[in-house]
Amino acid sequence: MKRVIAAVSLICLVSLPAFAQRPRGGVSHPPRQAHATHVEKGRITVDGTLSEPEWATAEMLTDFLQQEPQEGAPSNFKSDVRVLYDDEMLYIGAMLYDPEPDKLVSNELKRDFAPRDSDMFGITLDTFLDKLNGYGFFTMPMGAWRDSQVADDGRANNANWDGVWLVRTSVVKDGWMVEYGIPFRTLRFPRRDTQLWGMNIVRLIRRTNEITTWSFVPRSFPLSKPSFAGTLAGISGVKPGRDFRVKPYGLASTTNRAGTTSGSLDGGVDVKAGVGTSLVLDGTFRTDFAQVEADEQQINLTRFSLFFPEKREFFLENQRAFQINSTLAGTNLVPFFSRRIGLSDAGTEIPLIGGARLSGKQGRSTIGLLNITTNEQERPGQTPLPRSNYSFARYGRDFLNNSSASLFYMGHEQSGRSNRLVGSDMQLTLKRRTVIDAVAMHSASENGASGNALRAGVDFDSSLTRLAASATLLDPSFRNDLGFIQRPGRDIYTALASRGIRPSKARAKIVREYTPGISYTRFVKDGLGTETGTFSPSMGLVFSDASTGAVTWQMNEEALSTPFRIHPTQTIAAGRYHFNSLVATGKMAQSHRLAFNGEVRGGEFWTGTRKGFTAGARFRANVRLATSLNYSHDVIDLPGGSFTTNLMSMRVDGSFTTRMFLNAFIQYNSTTREVLSNVRFNVVHHPLSDLYVVYNEGHPTTSAPVSRSVAVKMTQMLTF
């Protein structure tokens, strides 16, 4: 009970000022309205020229407003946008004026390019007009694709969703042109004669870092926030497609380990089918993940597990249906973490036999269902672990204004081992700027052990002020085989406060915003008290070109109940420790042809000192070739001796066209004493269909043998 009272008190203490403040967001503007014009099928060719006479008959959408740098002010660059449609496709045409088209920035050509590193144009479509969900379609002057799913009124943006659509661009003497063709079968929308959709349009002028929208979005909110969108009317007589896709693949690979070569042939299939107007059923048989790029190496100077993000294609689409709400939780508690399926704790693959999932929205309801079976897990020198079955079910319901609640179940079944979990979560949004969330979970395992996990948080974020706090209570007996818990059995308390300070327009030519802040994190363990406490005052800077910098002073408290081996040659004795350190970081905007980033850290470290730095640079030779280098070095000096760590990486990204890529990623980790290489060639030979050639090599710097593998994979998307 004392733990619950402490958690509630912390949240209330931080949230009261948030409710007391009047939201600030600059000048407000009424939502815009637009009308689409019907044309005969076959009249529009998507070529990026807008040469057809039908474009002149469409309503012109103009008078964009700034989100950055002068919130609510008219754009300094004129944009004219028009909307047409026929029986099968929605067309968007834009003339984006720029007096210096030779200074347009196209940073890369890959699909799902970084959205703020290039000049950019995009639209968002809220096809159910629920002001919560939608689609985003973006491009840049060289015509690369970026598409995404928007959920929770812009709080969740899944760039891993890929749709079938057309885009062409052309650079002209007074700016650049954009032409989209979006098939209606790519979208999901109500089956009715007349459509009314939410729509917004965004443009980024990279060299001046000016962000503008057609329907005004205040600076404190994401650009893809459906509740600030205008409306698009005039579309009638169209129907969503069945969206039935079959994607078979074939894989050939060869591997050489310790002088022994082996080869294999494999194949499988993924199936995607629309269910109703808004649900998607995904099925997979003999799934393979050979084309996934390598994880970035990390050096762990803590005594807890590291978090690696999910990168596998099957698990990336419709992620929001499987996510449990959180505020300031970070990676301390992730209720559902798909990397627990098909990957061992060491990161090696466990063959995935097959599975299915159903996900999406049905009115105000969110549905996420998943069931997957993995094959035996091989273990060198040990008996293989038997097959596992993983299941997940979540039902969520939207209520009030952008709020939601859900019930969920997770299960892991394996011979002699089981783990089942039930829970509920809630997210309450107040006046768009304040979010309160909570989650409660109960687990039961094969040995009869059971436990609870509780978390609650509040986050207030205006244009300049942010106040947030969260509390997480974890029973030592709580277990979640489908989640990520970095530090089981601890209670976790977090809080932060920050304030943005914006200089006047005359003084903002270099620094656009100063952000002083304070953050606090505390881990509490029964019988030990505070196990970890970190109090961190900081000062952040945002420069006019979108470069950033920050200085943070960290005051640390650590308690060890048992010795901690921080290095093969060094051990920290049990006891309570207090030490302080300073971290300074800087990162240039990636739109620069040569962009540097770095970090300098130093100060006390346990019973000794730590001095280190990270230095990196990215050089963009042109839109088709970029190289980045990063080097991290630390010197740890303890009473028992000293040791150093080094982590180096080099990445080369080559884009021959928007459909052909060559990427190389080489890493060295002094802790594992191994050079890892990953080279991947990719050709998109048909929409959403790929040819991959992948080479991986692990080259130890010791006498251990080199391992190499080559894989060739072919996928073909068949749509019906």
* Tokens, residue 398: 């939207």
Per the DSSP assignment, residues forming a β-bridge with 411 are 391, 420
65 membership: H or E segment, kind and range: strand 65-68
Q: Report the pLDDT averaged over residues 169-194.
A: 93
570 class by beta-carbon count within 10 Å (0-12 exposed, 13-18 middle, 19+ buried):
middle
Flag whether 666 is in a domain: no
Q: Cα 188 from chain centroid?
A: 23
Positions of E strands within 431-574: 434-445, 450-461, 465-474, 484-485, 491-499, 511-525, 529-543, 548-560, 564-567, 570-572
Lowest mean pLDDT among 284-293, 330-339, 409-418, 543-552: 284-293
Task: Please indicate, yes or no, if residue 532 is contained in any of the structural domains.
Answer: no
- 139 lies in some domain: yes
How far apart CA 533 and CA 557 sit, in angstroms, is 5
**What is the domain-level CATH number for residue 212?**
2.60.40.1190
Q: What is the pLDDT of residues 466-476, one digit of tens each?
A: 999 999 999 99
Concatenate the DSSP letters of all residues of 204-228 into one string: EEGGGTEEEESS---TTS-TT-GGG
From CA 504, how far away is CA 498, in angstroms rounded?
19
Mean pLDDT, residues 343-369:
82
Distance of CA 162 to the CA centre of its chain: 14
Mean pLDDT (the chain, rounded): 87
Whole-prediction pTM = 0.84
Tell me the residue range of the domain where 81 lies.
31-236
Of the chain, the end-to-end C-alpha distance in Å amounts to 57
The average pLDDT across 372-381 equals 83
pLDDT digits (tens, 9 = 90+) for 558-581: 999 899 888 888 888 999 999 999
Cβ partners under 8 Å of residue 564, min gap 6? 303, 571, 572
Higher pLDDT, 64 or 671: 64
Closest CA to 109 of 149, 136, 147, 139: 139
Q: Does residue 720 register a pLDDT over 80? A: no
Q: What is the pLDDT of residues 140-157, one digit of tens each?
A: 999 999 999 888 788 778
Tell me, yes or no, whether 246 lies in a domain.
no
Residue 614 CA from chain centroid, whole number:
23
How many domains does the chain divide into? 1
Does 203 fall in a domain?
yes
Whether residue 19 lies inside any domain: the answer is: no
What pLDDT, on the 0 to 100 scale, is given for residue 302?
A: 63
Using 50, 70 and 90 to split pLDDT, how confident is the model at 165?
A: very high
Letter string b/e over residues 487-514, b meaning 16 or more CB atoms within 10 A of that residue's CB? bbebbbbbbbbbebebeeeeebeebbbe
Q: Is 448 exposed, middle or buried (0-12, 13-18, 19+ CB in 10 A)?
A: exposed
The pLDDT value given to residue 289? 64
What is the predicted pLDDT for the residue at 320?
75
Residue 346 — pLDDT band, cuts 50, 70, 90?
low
For residue 101, the model assigns a pLDDT of 95
pLDDT higher for 377 or 308?
Answer: 377
Give the integer Cα–Cα distance in Å for 220 and 199.
Answer: 19
| 473 closest CA partner among 327, 334, 335, 333 | 333
148 in any annotated domain: yes
675-692 average pLDDT score:
92
Q: What is the pLDDT of residues 590-603, one digit of tens each?
A: 889 999 999 999 99
Q: Provide the Cα torsion 102, 107, 113, 117; round to 10°.
A: -90
- Structure-token pair, residue 519: 């953050």
Sheet holding 37-38, edge to edge: 37-38, 79-85, 89-97, 175-183, 166-172
With beta carbons less than 8 A apart as the criterion, state whether 455 and 489 touch. no
Kindly report, residue by residue over 615-666, the tens digit of the pLDDT. 999 999 999 999 999 999 999 999 988 999 999 999 999 999 999 999 999 9
Q: Where residue 23 falls among pLDDT bands split at 50, 70, 90?
A: very low
Q: Decide if 37 is inside a domain.
A: yes
Tell me the pLDDT tens digit for each residue of 248-277.
Answer: 999 899 999 878 898 988 888 989 888 877
Q: Per-residue pLDDT for 451 more than 70?
A: yes
% of residues, the chain, pLDDT over 70: 90
- Mean pLDDT over 516-527 rounds to 94
